[in-house]
Amino acid sequence: MPEKSVKSDRAGITSCNMRARLSLVFCLLSGCSPTLEIGGAYFPDWLVSAIAGLFAVAGLRAALLWLGLDEALEPRVFAYPAWAVSLTLLIYLLLFS
């Protein structure tokens, strides 16, 4: 019988530790602001990343046209939106995480 009480105490301590850790994480993350101030106005980080991603894709397309590699992208309808999403997510990860 004493073994069961020790096991139940360990389970209680483990769940208490997990609650304490989660509380600490939520307290630390509560001050994070997902906005960026630009010229006195607040913009969401994802919007800034999306705009930067679109400019990056425009630059990528200009570079591919200059190198003559644009013809290699057969389904351009799918290729450029895929590049846009990829570059947007990369910019978001690099700048805001």
Spatial distance between the Cα atoms of 21 and 29, rounded to a whole number of angstroms? 12
Is the pLDDT at 60 greater than 70? The verdict is yes
| Domain extents in the chain | 1-32, 33-97
CA distance 63 to 28: 42
Instruction: Compute and round to an integer the Cα radius of gyration of the chain.
Output: 24
Q: Does pTM surpass 0.95? A: no
Residue-wise pLDDT for 5-45, tens only, equals: 545 555 555 666 777 777 766 655 555 667 777 787 888 88
